Structures are given as C-alpha cells and as structure tokens.
C-alpha cells in the first residue's frame, strides 16, 4: 500500500510547504472547494471514514449532526492531545507532515461551514508546536488559510492551542473546556459538542490522523478509498509498536492488518530469544491480550469480537521478563494521576485500585485482594462521566481475567515472583 499519512516523511524538509506541494499537496483543497459542502460530506460517507482517536465513530455522521444545527459560527477542533500511553502515531504527522493536517482541516472546515479551527496540541510536544505554527504561517501566506482560501471566497482560520499536561483533555468535552480556559473536566452529554460545543456553538472534534485522511479521500474519491483495508472501517491506519520487539516504530498499513502480522511481519517479532507474554493492542486503556489471542484484525469492528479494542492502535509488546502485576499497578498509577476528580467512582476508585495493586506487587497482598480489585472495578465500570474511569476499571479486570495466577502467586509468595 502506498503511504498516505506518512508519505514523504523521510524527506528532511517535509514540513516545508513547497516540498509538500511538490509531492502533490494542496491539490485536494481546490478540488473540494469546487464541490458543494454536502458533496464533500457525501464523499467522506462513501469512504466509510471512522474517527481514529479511539472510538471509531463514523466521521460523516458526526459532520452531518453539526451541519444540521443552524447555530453559527461553527468550530472545527483537531484533537492533537495524543496522550494515551503507548501512542505516538500523531506525532510523525504533526512533526513531519503538518501541511497534510492543515489541508485536511481546511477541507473539513469547508464541508462543515466552520470558519475557525483550533489544533489542541498536547503540551508535551514543544517541537510540534513550532513546526505547526510555521506551517500555518506558510499556509496563510500561500492563501490556503485566511478569508479567501484558494481564491474561493471561503474563510478558514486556524490556530494552535497548547494543552498543559492533562491526559483527560483528550476526551472531547474536556478538550473543549480546556480550550475555553477552564480545568479539563468532561461535560455531561447530551448536549453533544456537535450542538453545544466550543463557545456553546456546534463543534466537531476530530483526531489528527482522521483529518489527515481527508486530502487523500478527495484525491482518489470515497469509493476507491473504501476499498482499502477492512470493509467495515476502511482506510490506511498508523499502528505504533513499542516494547520488546526488534523494530519498534510507526507502521502505516491497511486498516485490519492482524495483530500478529503487525508484531511479527512488520515490527520484526520479539526481541532476542525471549517469549511473548502479553500484548496491549490499542494503548493502555484497551484490554490486554495473551499470546494465543493475537490473530485478530486490528480494526474498530473486529477487535471487540476478539476481546479487546483498536483504541489508538498503540501496540505495547511485553516479553516473559515483564511482571504484569507491576504493569497493571503502573497503569493504575497513571489513571489515578490523570483522573480529573470530577466524579467519585473514578477519583476514589483509581486510587484505591492503585493502592491494592501496589501492596500485591510489594509482597504485602492480602487474601481476598483479587476479589476486592474486581469488586471495585465493577463498581466503577459504566458509572463515570467519561471513559477514563471505564478504562482504568477494564485494565484491572482484563489483567486479572488473563493472568490471574500471576496475581495469586504474588499474594501467596508475599513477593514479586517475576524478578
């Protein structure tokens, strides 16, 4: 498959507008502007594009909700708050291919009738901030952003809004709160952002990778795009592989490539001669899988049938030297730290789970601790404002589901048994 999202990133000047144009960039924007906004949305619908942030929501449907709302102005927000541990798929687009994202946002803005866009960029990507700001200035100078984009009479203005170190701001309503200058605490839904979003106006929040697909969809047409990868959720997908593999990194592959192929054919298999012990397939919020369950197509529809989720496509590979109680503990330390504190099950639950996991790992686990972990988790699941609490609970449930003996051994031996 030819590279779409990571095209040209080996070019050391890939962030420059001239290089991007040389490689065929900014041709889709005029093409889209020659269509009616509704025709652009129809093409995205034919493409079958689903949001790449983790939920896999159909993009054309979200856009249609926003355009159906008569309130004005409308806002387009790019979620570049890439914070799901294990995930580094948006970073190469932001740092190496910023014009692809800008072109995608200009196309999306036109389709939505949104005249203002913001890229909500995580604070931990300072290099990307400079690169994006430079690329945005270049796009303004070249007339691809501003009051009359590509001579079409359409307005689209774009700015970077830098986050400040809060994982929760990747959740779209928390992101909006943060853009508006507030704590990043999720809002209750409904109303949904497509009706009452940023500054109480209809707002679409799409992920970096999602928006970066737009120029290609317009270039080849939704029909052709829909033939790439899985029929239910087509298109190219960036998988990012970390941990104990020979060749960690980002791999742009057809959506639905199997987890086994990603690990063994693309990332070079397990490092050295050790055995595979566990894989987290889509960032730490997604259910962990044991080695015998990795023959699954990595897409939004298939993964739930195989006991996990695609999430962000962040594959974390762990070999036999890894203590999974410790990994689970570290994950909960993360969730506790990042819980926004708004709702009780998450605020209290994440800390409680972390404490119990910590004592098990430190050889102080008590008889009944595993059942206590499961009881707390089930009291969190589905009872929180946003998916952060669900993610934390499901991490604990799935580590215990697949690796319960390791937890029991820790408690029995009153020590970590994997050192």
Sheet with 74-80: strands ordered across: 157-162, 114-121, 74-80, 203-207
Least distance to other proteins from the beta carbon of 27, Å?
Answer: 28
Cβ-in-10-Å burial (0-12, 13-18, 19+) of 110 comes to: buried
Q: Name which of residues 340 to 379 contact other proteins (CB under 8 A).
A: 340
Q: Which of 91, 96, 293, 354 binds other proteins (CB under 8 A)?
A: 91
Q: Which of 322, 374, 415, 418 binds other proteins (CB under 8 A)?
A: 322
Of 246, 218, 190, nearest to 106 by C-alpha is 218
The answer to whether 126 contacts other proteins (rule: CB under 8 A) is yes
- Distance CA(215)–CA(211), nearest Å, equals 8
The answer to whether 137 contacts other proteins (rule: CB under 8 A) is no
Nearer to other proteins, 27 or 183 (CB): 183
The answer to whether 114 contacts other proteins (rule: CB under 8 A) is no
Q: Name which of residues 178 to 237 contact other proteins (CB under 8 A).
A: 178-184, 199
Nearer to other proteins, 12 or 181 (CB): 181
Going residue by residue from 3 to 42, which x/- string records binding to other proteins, judged by CB under 8 A? ----------------------------------------
Least distance to other proteins from the beta carbon of 89, Å?
Answer: 9
Q: Name which of residues 257 to 316 contact other proteins (CB under 8 A).
A: 280, 284, 314, 316
Neighbouring C-beta atoms of residue 134, cutoff 10 Å: 14
- Distance CA(76)–CA(172), nearest Å, equals 12
Neighbouring C-beta atoms of residue 148, cutoff 10 Å: 11
Least distance to other proteins from the beta carbon of 126, Å?
Answer: 4
Using the CB atoms, write b or e for 38-49: b if 16+ within 10 Å.
eebbbbbbbbbb
Residue 355, token pair as written in the block: 């404490």
Q: At what angle do helices 98-112 and 126-141 cross, to 10 degrees?
A: 60
Residues lying near other proteins in the complex (CB under 8 A) are found at 82-88, 90-91, 116, 122-127, 159, 161-167, 178-184, 199, 240-244, 248-250, 280, 284, 314, 316, 318, 322, 326-327, 330-331, 334, 337-338, 340
């Amino acid at each position: 498959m030819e590279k779409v999202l990571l095209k040209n990133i080996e070019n050391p000047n890939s962030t420059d507008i001239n290089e991007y144009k040389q490689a065929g960039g900014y041709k889709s924007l005029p093409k889209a502007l020659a269509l009616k906004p509704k025709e652009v949305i129809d093409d995205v619908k034919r493409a079958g594009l689903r949001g790449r942030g983790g939920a896999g929501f159909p993009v054309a449907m979200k856009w249609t909700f926003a355009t159906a709302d008569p309130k004005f102005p409308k806002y387009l927000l790019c979620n570049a708050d890439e914070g799901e541990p294990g995930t580094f798929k948006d970073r190469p687009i932001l740092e190496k291919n910023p014009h692809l994202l800008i072109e995608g946002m200009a196309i999306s803005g036109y389709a939505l009738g949104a005249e203002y866009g913001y890229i909500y960029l995580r604070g931990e990507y300072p290099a990307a901030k400079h690169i994006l700001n430079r690329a945005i200035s270049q796009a303004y100078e070249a007339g691809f952003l501003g009051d009359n984009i590509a001579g079409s009479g359409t307005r689209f203005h774009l700015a970077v809004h830098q986050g400040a170190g809060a994982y929760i701001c990747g959740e779209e309503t928390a992101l909006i709160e943060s853009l508006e200058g507030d704590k990043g605490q999720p809002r209750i839904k409904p109303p949904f952002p497509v009706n009452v979003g940023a500054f109480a106006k209809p707002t679409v929040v799409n992920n970096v990778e999602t928006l970066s697909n737009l120029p290609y969809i317009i270039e080849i047409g939704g029909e052709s795009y829909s033939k790439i990868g899985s029929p239910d959720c087509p298109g190219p997908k960036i998988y990012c592989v970390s941990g104990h593999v020979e060749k960690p990194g980002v791999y742009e592959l057809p959506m639905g490539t199997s987890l086994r192929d990603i690990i063994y054919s693309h990332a070079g298999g397990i490092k050295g001669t050790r055995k595979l012990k566990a894989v987290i397939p889509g960032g730490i919020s997604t259910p962990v899988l044991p080695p015998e369950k990795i023959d699954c197509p990595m897409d939004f529809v298939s993964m739930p049938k195989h006991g996990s989720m695609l999430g962000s496509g962040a594959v974390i590979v762990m070999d036999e030297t890894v203590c999974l109680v410790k990994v689970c503990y570290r994950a909960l330390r993360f969730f506790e730290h990042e819980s926004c504190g708004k709702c009780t099950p998450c605020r209290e639950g994440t800390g409680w789970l972390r404490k119990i996991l910590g004592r098990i790992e430190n050889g102080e686990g008590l008889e009944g601790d595993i059942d206590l972990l499961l009881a707390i988790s089930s009291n969190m699941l589905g009872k929180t404002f946003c998916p952060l609490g669900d993610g934390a609970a499901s991490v604990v449930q799935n580590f215990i589901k697949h690796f319960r003996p390791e937890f029991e051994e820790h408690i029995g031996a009153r020590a970590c048994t994997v050192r």
